Amino acid sequence: MKLYSDKGNFQTLKISIAARLTGTASEILAIEVGHNDIVAPFLSKSKLPVLEVAEGKYLFSANTAAKYLFLKAGQVKKEEAEDEILEWENNELLPLIATYLSNIIGQGKKESSVSDSLLKTLHQLESKLTKTKYLLDDTLSICDVCVFSSIFPLFSLKNQEVLSKLPNTKRYCEDVTKIQAVQDAISELTGGAGPEVFKASLLSQRFPLLPSSIVDRQTSGAAVANPDASGDQIPEVKLSQADLESARASWGKKPDDVEQPRPRIHPILPDPQRRNILVTSALPYVNNVPHLGNIIGCVLSADVFSRFARLRNYNVLYICGTDEYGTATETKAMEEGVTPREICDKYNKLHVQIYKWFNIDFDYFGRTTTDQQTEIAQDIFWKLYHNGYVLKDSVDQLKCTKCDKFLADRFVEGICPLCGFDDARGDQCDACGKLINAVELKSPKCKICKSSPVIQTSNHLFVDLPKLEPLLSSHLNGAFESGTWTNNAKMITNSWIRDGLKPRCISRDLKWGTPVPLEGYTDKVFYVWFDAPIGYISITANYTSEWKQWWKNPQQIEMYNFLGKDNVPFHSVIFPACLLGTNDGYSVVNHMVATEYLNYEDTKFSKSRNSGVFGDQAEVTGIQADIYRFYLLFVRPESQDTAFSWDDFLLKNNSELLNNLGNFINRALMFLHNNFKGIVQEMSVTDEDVELLAQITNQLKGYISNLEACRLRDGIRNILTISRLGNQYMQVTKPWVLSKGSPEEIKRAGSVIALCANVACLLSVLLQPYMPTTSAVIQQQLHAPASVNYIGGEFVPMLQPGHQIGQPSPLFQKLESATMSELKAKFAGKPEEKTKKPSKKGEKPQPSNNVVTTEDFSKLSISIANQGQKVRELKAAKADKSVIDKEVAYLLQLKKDLEAAQAAVPKKESQSLSAEQLAQAVSLQGQKVRELKAAKAEKSVIDKEVACLLHLKKDLEVAESQKESQPAVAVVEQSACVNSAGGDAGLIEKLTQAVAVQGNKVRDLKAAKADKSVIDAEVASLLKLKKDLELAGGVTAAPATKNSSKKNKKK
């Protein structure tokens, strides 16, 4: 047997103790592996320890492995009872304790407290141990070995606060530790060291998750509520005495005790006394008007983070600009009959305007088409070249002599060399789906001028990524450990490196781009993905001549990249590798924040289909930029894709902004204005007040922790919780009642409202990164001094007694659902013609003359069934080819008609029509059969109709049994009666069946060596069905190459 384990893995104790106790230790070969090594071929990493009990048989469950050893030695006595405890350990104890240990040992969060659920579970253990020495009885069993191993690290932390609550458990651990075998196993694992020996393993292993209903998220202090909850509840946070004391102490401080915000003086250069942060957002491609998804993915996210960092008094430089070189711009310029430069100028202005409207506070927004870009890109190239990281190779490319251009893959069409499909594109054949090279196409044609291109060999340059891999990996390992990387960024990067890096071509035969300086390649330009990230550097160089202080200063600065996930490989692999390869001291990325996709309603943003809101259109809607900012950040796609929804937009505006945040601030300020002439009164805090202060401080700490880690969505929740706390406070204290009472009570009202005004002030500061205009408005209404704009970890009253506020007024407006419906209709766009998608919300329903009745349906389907039968008979009878072809064509036409008819049926109705329609069809067909029999028609005719009737009945049965769970699926070939065309699921079902059936048909024909043209006809029909299925099933887009204009591209 082989035992694979990483160093310091506390789960391995289970197996090693078991081995010693059962005397099987000699049969086990212990093999130490790395924390992330994969041991069994099918396992994902971070699943250790693993016991290989026989060749190819792996036990990756530590409990099962330990039990195996016990069983082998015959030391399992009460298997059922032991199984139960082991199950409890695996499902309840281990997930909770692993989370706790990961926080306290793994991440060193010393203030991490034992969560309530963990305590509850530990109490269960405690009560099991009241009567017996060990878990089952007074002898040690396998469950003791496993339970003990899991709690051992907790025990070794010697946390008296916890252990004092669990005397039995403490005694139990001490007893178990007395056993020699256990001591030996422990000392082998830890080598006598303390709990920190578990750290590396804890951080790398993946533990069983808890069902999400019990998950506690242990951010420092604040328990963040379930992010998708409507948010009416304020999270229950237990405050300790220490929390209360420190909140009270902070409240006693004066504004002068607080750090002053630092002014922003351009040019911003690194300051050795402060934390220096360089923030970049992925450069938007100049040619495309950004949509809301692009905006949240990059510039807006980076903006929130930069603003927050400035409020923390870090030294921040936020750089961005338009990415202007490349095929697309060149092509568009040709189309519009202007120079590429002119196109770029026009669109760059558009981008600048849009971002200005959204209030994106760049320190500098530039462009990539500058002299500095050429200079720096060529310099980087030369260094790579002289360091031996550039390869030369020749590539066969298609060149269109008429257009005098080398054709990019997507500009070539031709016949697929593999399947003969005549509309294959340059890189991939749509029919058979195989990847091909454009040069392999038969009869290729230039997409633009339709003439035939020739194959020319062109020399190109490649960057030797495999050679750069060690440099890159060593940088990334450090960066992953110490930096903030979103999960997707890490995973994508790792999979690129694991799959093996390949040399990448960095040159292109184009005219619009950074020229390659190498002799023999001077007619070429750099490939846009090599030179675009260099844009970050050159844009900085345009901002200040001292750019090297940021870009060649890795020790003093930290770089944050914000981008969409499709750009990750370029930013985390290619660009850093190139910079490291120059050996010129370049600063390389430390933190990477990548978002997933933002969809629009139930589809994607698409310019060509006019669906979704694009940057320049937002202004026209009349809704403020701040509200868009708020909503986009609220639904920011952090760990999975999310969708922009107008209904949700309305809901969040009205409930969170208006009723919660706006409501609190406005009523507090109005009260102050009306009752105390707007002058802040004396504050004397009661114990109740201190509770509030401590709660708010808790949220404040959570906010800081969330934003430092770029968890922008969670930061919003902290803000909204503080506001809710404020509202709740006012409800409880009822200052409007107090202010009409005795002088004592009036004083109390003044104190309460003064506190609320300070909460409002705090909110305005925390809100600034998200909604800068609103923040400024609040501060203006408060007449707050500029010095409040600093975020420390304490809640200090910045508005002191005697401070005069200004005129309050409502901050937000209610959005009406009528407005939302209008907007939905406006941005819905048109559906694609090919797929029969249901009408999007807001589109008008189909005109009534397209409504198909039940009779039409059944008539059509019966015709199809009959026709199908006819064709089969003809083929079997080896009739004349032309005759067969005619009938086949007619059959296909009928089927098409049926599809079209189904598509016209409005969504809601067709769902319920399925079973009923079938019933109708069955009764009609039954009637027909009866008539035929009564008329004593020919037997073959009767049989045919009977067959059809039987099929219909079968489908009806299926439809009825599946009515609850799925839309009815009818066999298309035989009776093709009804499918609910409503909903993509129904369409996919139908098409899936059709493809399967048609595929069978083709196979049969080929096996029967039928006539080629017949086969071809069926193959063509199959290919069309496959295409439809793909489109209906929503094939995911290929990864971003900038030049391809896919719709929901994020940069």
Partner 1 sequence: MATSPTILYLNETYKKKIKCSEKGISLNLNDGKSISGISSIAKYLQRTQPEFQDLSLEDRMVFEQWLEYRNIITNCSDDIESQKIVLKELNGYLKDKVYFVAERFTVADVIIYHSLYEIYKKVTFQDKENYIYLSRWFNNIQQDKRTRQSLPQLKFLRTLIYDGFNGH
Site residues (CB under 8 A) for partner 1?
41-44, 53-54, 57, 59-61, 63-65, 67-68, 71-72, 79-80, 83-84, 87-88, 90-91, 206, 208-212, 428, 432-435, 487, 495, 499, 639-640, 962, 965-966, 988-989, 992-993, 995-996, 999, 1026, 1029-1030, 1033-1039
Residue 611: what are its φ and ψ, rounded to 5°? -105, 130
Q: What HEC string does 893-949 produce?
A: HHHHHHHHHHHHCCHHHHHHHHHHHHHHHHHHHHHHHHHHHHCCCCHHHHHHHHHHH
Q: Phi/psi zone of residue 213: left (φ > 0), alpha (ψ -120 to 50 degrees), beta? A: alpha
Minimum CB distance to partner 1, residue 384 (Å): 25
Cβ proximity to partner 1: between 691 and 984 the closer is 984
Q: Using the Cα atoms of residue 952, residue 958, residue 959 and residue 961 in order, give the sign of their dihedral.
A: positive
Closest by Cα among 768, 754, 558, 556 to 672: 754
Cβ proximity to partner 1: between 146 and 672 the closer is 146
Minimum CB distance to partner 1, residue 33 (Å): 18
885 contacts 1014 by C-beta, under 8 angstroms: yes
317 contacts 329 by C-beta, under 8 angstroms: no
How many Cα atoms are found within 13 Å in the side-chain-facing hemisphere of 209? 5
Q: What is the DSSP string of 504-557?
A: EE-EES-SSSPBP-STT-TT-EE-HHHHTTHHHHHHHHHH-TTTHHHHT-TTTE
CB neighbours (10 Å) of residue 709?
15
Minimum CB distance to partner 1, residue 366 (Å): 31
Cβ proximity to partner 1: between 434 and 450 the closer is 434
Residue 476 CA to residue 482 CA, distance in Å, equals 10
For the chain, the 3-state helix, strand and coil shares in percent, each to the nearest 5, are 55, 10, 35
The helix or strand, by DSSP H or E, that contains position 57, with its residue range, turns out to be: strand 57-59
Cβ proximity to partner 1: between 115 and 368 the closer is 115
CA angle at residue 210 from 150 to 106, to 5 degrees? 50
The helix or strand, by DSSP H or E, that contains position 676, with its residue range, turns out to be: helix 663-676
Minimum CB distance to partner 1, residue 488 (Å): 8
Minimum CB distance to partner 1, residue 423 (Å): 16
Residue 424 gets which letter from DSSP?
A: E
Minimum CB distance to partner 1, residue 730 (Å): 36
Cβ proximity to partner 1: between 640 and 742 the closer is 640
Minimum CB distance to partner 1, residue 1038 (Å): 5
Closest by Cα among 719, 713, 741 to 664: 719
Residue 421 CA to residue 27 CA, distance in Å, equals 61
Residue 447 CA to residue 285 CA, distance in Å, equals 23
**Amino acid making up residue 445:** K
Q: Characterize the bridge pairing of strands 557-564 and 591-595.
A: parallel
Minimum CB distance to partner 1, residue 1012 (Å): 21
Cβ proximity to partner 1: between 244 and 1031 the closer is 1031
First to last CA, the chain: 50
Cβ proximity to partner 1: between 78 and 158 the closer is 78
Alpha helices in 810-880 (DSSP H): 817-827, 854-876
Cβ proximity to partner 1: between 88 and 308 the closer is 88
Minimum CB distance to partner 1, residue 372 (Å): 33
Cβ proximity to partner 1: between 47 and 717 the closer is 47
The tokens describing 113, both together, are 């407290």
> Can the peptide bond before residue 267 be classed as cis, meaning omega within 30 degrees of 0?
yes
Minimum CB distance to partner 1, residue 1033 (Å): 5
Cβ proximity to partner 1: between 228 and 256 the closer is 228
The tokens describing 429, both together, are 């054949």
327 contacts 510 by C-beta, under 8 angstroms: yes
Q: What is the DSSP string of 455-479?
A: EEEEEEEEE-HHHHHHHHHHHHHHH
CA 898 from centroid of its chain's CA atoms: 39
Cβ proximity to partner 1: between 7 and 1027 the closer is 1027
Cβ proximity to partner 1: between 440 and 1030 the closer is 1030
Cβ proximity to partner 1: between 91 and 807 the closer is 91
CA distances from 35 to 7, 38, 474, 479, 495 (A): 7, 9, 16, 17, 17
- DSSP 3-state assignment of 52? strand
Residue 901 CA to residue 894 CA, distance in Å, equals 10
Residue 444 CA to residue 220 CA, distance in Å, equals 62
17 contacts 211 by C-beta, under 8 angstroms: no
Cβ proximity to partner 1: between 750 and 986 the closer is 986
Minimum CB distance to partner 1, residue 666 (Å): 37
Cβ proximity to partner 1: between 574 and 791 the closer is 574
Cβ proximity to partner 1: between 430 and 794 the closer is 430
Minimum CB distance to partner 1, residue 433 (Å): 4
CA distances from 92 to 14, 80, 147, 755, 924 (A): 17, 18, 11, 43, 59
Cβ proximity to partner 1: between 45 and 332 the closer is 45
Cβ proximity to partner 1: between 213 and 731 the closer is 213
